[in-house]
Structure 1
Amino acid sequence: MDEQGVGARVFGPRQPLPVRVTPVQGESTGSFVNRLAHGQGLELEALLERVGFGRASQDPVRVRAYPSTTEMYVNERGLEYLAVLCGSTARALQEVLPSTAAARLLKETETTTALWKWPWLPREGHLVPLCGTCTAARGVRETVWMISTDRWRVCLEHLRWTDSDATGGERGLSLKLLPETAEAHREREALGQRYGAVGEQLFADAFQIAVHWWTHLPDTARWVRRAWDAGLEPLAVPAAPLVLMPEAAAMAAQLTAFEHSGRRDGQARTRWMEELRGQMDLWGVDFSVGRLALMDWLLRHSTPAAPASDTVGGPAAGTAPQVRQASAGTPGAGVPQELRVSPGHERAAQPTGVLGAASCLPWQLGQPACEM
């Protein structure tokens, strides 16, 4: 073994820190290490020296802000050090902290030294605060930063919304006056549970369509009212995901029904558009503006998916199963059912954010209407 490897083993931690700190499922590594340090009465930069070696600012104030701005990544030896310090095992930490998964460990093949890094931005996901009520219920007195696939999180237990912009503070916004937004989140989860990746893709398309509408028609009465109820400025970009979710969920159901039908002839497309015109009239969304996004989606989905072969308990080839109302309590909701998306869905995917990467539509939240 080389001298560097021997040194790493000799000088690594041998026993846990005196005060145990429990990680939260889905928490960022940086957030947990920060809380672990504070539990010992230390600042973050002092504990980092025990986890391994890395590059960080010489400004302690800046280092202490890292957990709220970026993620900490470790190599395999760094993970071992961290496990010893918190009185756990590397495998147990990997089950709780997403950024310590094997695929996300630093690949430092030239050294056996324990290493850590804080890149400019998280490599995957976004840092979003855990619901303040959830945090308090765990007896934690500081912000717990989660690695989230979206820029926001919805706590259905406490009806709170948190996002990466800390809209409404790190405790989040109350959704008690916006039950339809919470329900839309449940519908999104149910769609993913029912149809797997296809359900996620169709919801992403629906969300991009709703973003298109909001970008062109931000003063639509229902969206302005929801923003006010949440205590937000109606035209603020961070407010958009919160106020658009109900329409995005309803739109996702319409897209799913269209894919299920398998019909793409002119009559079927015209009937579908007319149904949506009526729905948009009820929402107060100007159809003459909103139809552009719908027509683009229809163009990309003009070819039906190839019928699936017969499967046990699944639809027979060439048949279109009826769309059922998705809900988390539906028996079998956790098992993805057969549904294929049009082959044209992949042609114009925009890998700029999670919902954008899953969608075939190019519009992204925050893009000016004149550039869409």
Structure 2
Amino acid sequence: MDGQVAGASWLFGPRRPLPVRVTPLRGESTGSFVNRLAHGQGLELEELLERVGFGQASRDPVRVRAYPSSTEMYVNERGLEYLAVLCGSTASALQEVLPSTAAAHLLQETETKAVWKWPWLPREGHLVPLCGTCAAACGVRETAWMISADRWRVCLEHLRFTDSDASGGEQGLSLKLLPETAEAHREREALNQRYGQVGQELFADAFQIAVHWWTHLPNTTRWVRRAWAVGLEAEAVPTAPLVLMPEVAAVAAWLAAFEHAGRRDGQARTRWMEELRSEMDGWGVDFSVGRLALMDWLQRHSTPVIPAPDTTGGPAAGTTLQARRPSAGMPGAGVPRQLRVSPGHAQAAQPTGVLGVASCLPWQLGQPACEM
């Protein structure tokens, strides 16, 4: 009889929350939250998973415990309902804070049982630790893994850099010795606010240009010094996003200035390249190598803009955007309040991350120089 009662209870799922409440963080991965939920009850992740639903997990406890830092947990609709009951919430409330529980990411298994899976890689985004200081402020005493569009996160409040490789440990690297990198991220936010989607695209192009430079010229003095300042290997791929950002932000401003000017003839492009060359000389970037990425970008942005009505409800390449004027001292300061982007920008983007999706330049961070 006891077995029958237990089976009936299992069939209908949990009816009461777990004894210790754990609150999900906005943007947290489902796997990270379930891991913290288990720890709140004094259980390891695999012990909680054994008690809830039917899923795919390794029989190796060590591997299972590493899942939240390497992949994401996905559930079907019934699994989401079970999880909501266990944490004393509702399915809709969880969907508001846990990105991977959104309707588009729910598993399609429609049977009455709860199902969960850990695919080899997250379906969307990257797993990046939350800044340790931010986590502590939320009462979280262990690593919380967030779903991030980029492979890294920058906490401007606490000046911390975290990435999917945990380069600086799960607490993050301090940016106090790299104030120019923190400022570059502020400039990125300002560009996005100023120009919306087009600002994101221009920053992505600038990042890809800088990646090309770094891949061919990783021993550039300023990048090596930044890496050493925070105890990283200068030529390690995860180091690049951290050390390149000041130049990325500067290049993004130059790209915006070119688009603002609206002149795409050979004379205008040559003058723009020469002006940027003097800046690159100051950075210590070999222009004979660095010009290749710039020429590729200019070629893709050589088509004159033909303003078109926006029927999608948002900005798109080839449209005109209202914008604030660039700040004084920034390339393009004093230009009109509209930003026009060449329709050629849409070519050859390779969607391997938010910056890859937004850029028209096809190479990617980590790709061998000979393939660029």
Q: What is the CA–CA distance in structure 2 between the aligned matches of 1:47 and 1:19, rounded to whole Å?
A: 13
Alpha-carbon offset, residue 8 of structure 1: 8.6
Distance in 1, matches of 2:262 and 2:189, equals: 24
How many residue pairs align between the two structures? 352
One-letter code aligned to 1:216: H
What is the deviation of 1:9? 8.1
State TM-score, norm by structure 1: 0.89
Moved more, 31-40 or 132-141: 132-141
For 2:334, the equivalent position in structure 1 comes to: none
Determine the C-alpha separation between the residues in 1 that align with 2:84 and 2:51. Answer: 11
Letter of the 2:265 counterpart: D
Task: Kindly state the Cα deviation for residue 318 of structure 1 after the two structures are TM-superposed.
Answer: 11
In 2, Cα distance between the equivalents of 1:144 and 1:171? 10
Match of 1:228, SS state, is: helix
Once residues 274 and 118 of structure 1 are traced to their aligned partners in structure 2, the CA distance between those partners, rounded to angstroms, is 51
Aligned to 2:54: 53
The aligned amino acid for 1:54 is G
Native 8 Å contact 1:257 1:323 kept in 2: no
Q: Is the 8 A contact 2:11 2:113 kept in 1?
A: no
CA contact 2:320–2:339 (8 Å) conserved in 1: no
1:180 counterpart = 2:180: yes
* 1:150–1:319 distance in 2 versus 1, CA, 3 Å: closer
Q: Deviations over 1:154-212 (max 9, x none)?
A: 01111011111110111111100111101111111222222222111111110000011
Q: 1:50 and 1:193 mapped to 2: Cα distance?
A: 46
Deviates more, 1:44-53 or 1:129-138: 44-53
Give the C-alpha shift of residue 225 in structure 1.
1.2
2:19 alignment partner AA: P
User: Which residue pairs with 2:260 in the alignment?
Assistant: 260
Query: Counterparts in 2 of 1:225-264, with a 5 A limit?
Result: 225-264=225-264
For residues 309 and 143 of structure 2, the distance between their equivalents in structure 1, rounded to whole angstroms, comes to: 50
- Which runs of 5 or more structure 1 residues have no equivalent in the other structure? 1-5, 328-336
Query: Following TM superposition, by how much is the alpha carbon of 1:309 offset from its aligned partner in structure 2, in angstroms?
Result: 6.0
1:233-265 alpha-carbon deviations (Å, 9 max, x no partner): 211111111000010011111111111222111
TM-score by length of 2: 0.89
Could you list the runs of 5+ residues in structure 2 that have no partner in the other structure?
A: 1-6, 329-336
Listed as ranges, the matches of 1:293-332 within 5 Å are 293-307=293-307, 324-325=325-326
Q: Does 1:153 align with 2:153?
A: yes
Change in Cα spacing, 1:101 to 1:326, as seen in structure 2 (3 Å) is: farther
- State the SS of the aligned residue for 2:276: helix
Shift of 1:219: 1.4
Mapped to 1, the partners of 2:155 and 2:323 lie a distance apart of 31
- Secondary structure of the 2:231 match is coil
Contact 1:232 1:239 in 2 (8 A): yes
| Cross-structure match for 2:224 | 224
Structure-1 residue corresponding to 2:75: 74
User: Distance between the aligned counterparts of 1:15 and 1:49, measured in 2?
Assistant: 17
Identity of aligned residues (%): 82
Q: Residues 349 and 357 of structure 1 are in contact (CA less than 8 Å); yes or no, is this contact kept in structure 2?
A: yes
Hey, what's the Cα distance between the residues in 2 that align with 1:83 and 1:347?
43
Runs of 4+ in 1 over 6 A off after TM superposition: 6-9, 317-323
Counterpart residue type for residue 85 of structure 1:
L
Q: CA deviation at 1:321?
A: 7.4
In 2: Cα distance, 1:254 partner to 1:100 partner: 40
Alpha-carbon distance change, 293 to 8 in structure 1, aligned in 2, over 3 angstroms: farther
- Alpha-carbon distance, 1:338 to partner: 6.0
Question: Aligned letter for 1:100?
Answer: T
Q: 1:40 offset after TM fit, Å?
A: 0.5
Query: 2: distance between equivalents of 1:15 and 1:318?
Result: 53
Aligned to 2:31: 30
Closer/same/farther in 2, CA of residues 261 and 34 from structure 1, 3 Å limit: same
TM-superposed deviation, 1:146: 0.7
CA contact (8 A) 1:75 1:106 kept: yes
Deviation of 1:137 (Å): 2.1
Where does 1:95-244 land on structure 2 (aligned, <5 Å)? 95-109=96-110, 111-244=111-244
Deviation at 1:149, TM superposition (A): 0.7
* Contact 1:259 1:304 (C-alpha < 8 Å) held by counterparts: no
- Residue 320 of structure 1: CA displacement? 9.5
Do the aligned partners of residues 321 and 158 (structure 1) sit closer, same or farther apart at CA in structure 2, a change above 3 Å counting?
A: closer
Q: Which amino acid aligns with 2:139?
A: G
| Distance in 2, Cα, partners of 1:230 & 1:10 | 53
Q: Secondary structure at the residue paired with 2:271?
A: helix
CA RMSD in angstroms comes to: 2.4
Q: Kindly tell me: are residues 120 and 66 of structure 1, through their superposed partners in 2, closer, same or farther at Cα, counting changes over 3 Å?
A: same
